[in-house]
Amino acid sequence: MLAPNKTVVRIARHDDINAISALITFYAELGNLLPRSIDEISQNLEHFLVATVEGEIAACASFELFTPILGEIRSLMVSSDYQRQGIASNLIKHLIDRAQNMKVKQVMALTYIPKLFHQHGFRTVDKSIFPEKVWGICVNCYKFNNCDEIAVLLEL
């Protein structure tokens, strides 16, 4: 595998949709995140970043707004071939920069790896403080009544 400094983070393009879908589908089938259809990815493509290594998509993530104040890092996935190389951290940094440029005051995420987000200044919080997320997206999740994800929040 290549070192993280060989990673290029860029805005997702239309020709990335299938690779993004493959990453999300793989991890959704493991139960690690909600599935997202090709149509949903396509409709939200401008929110996605991809990390490439020698032109191959190694990871993806999106930043989506709930309100002018609150945004969420979603669909943060790193291919198993490229894990533990700093790629997820690199994407988080880019998405925090995007949030700051948008003048967002809070960035949240639901994760199974809160330590990764804690390294970027996030703190663990109760999911119930995000009714926009809980009643807008989580309510449709098969894990809604038994959610085991951990909510994290960064105040900008």
- Structure-token pair, residue 128: 């119930």
User: Do residues 26 and 58 touch, judged by C-beta distance below 8 A?
Assistant: no
Q: What is the rounded distance in angstroms from the CA atom of residue 111 to the CA atom of residue 148? A: 9
At 50 the pLDDT is 97
Q: Which residue stretches of 10-86 are H helix?
A: 17-29, 38-43
Report the chain (156 residues): mean pLDDT per 10 consecutive residues: 70 96 89 84 96 93 91 93 93 96 94 94 88 54 64 95
Question: Quick one: pLDDT at residue 147?
Answer: 63
Q: For the chain, what percent of residues have pLDDT higher than 90? A: 62
Name the CATH superfamily housing domain 4-155: Gcn5-related N-acetyltransferase (GNAT) (3.40.630.30)
Based on its alpha-carbon atoms, the radius of gyration of the chain, rounded to whole angstroms, reads 15
Comparing CA positions, the residue from 121, 101, 107 lying closest to residue 63 is 107
Given the DSSP bridges, would you call strands 70-78 and 56-65 parallel, antiparallel or unpaired? antiparallel
User: How would you classify residue 152: left for phi > 0, otherwise alpha for psi between -120 and 50, otherwise beta?
Assistant: beta
| pLDDT for position 1 | 44
CA distances from 82 to 11, 21, 119 (A): 19, 17, 19
Angle at 78 between CA 138 and CA 72, to 5 degrees: 35
What is the pLDDT, as a whole number, of residue 66? 83
Domain ranges of the chain: 4-155
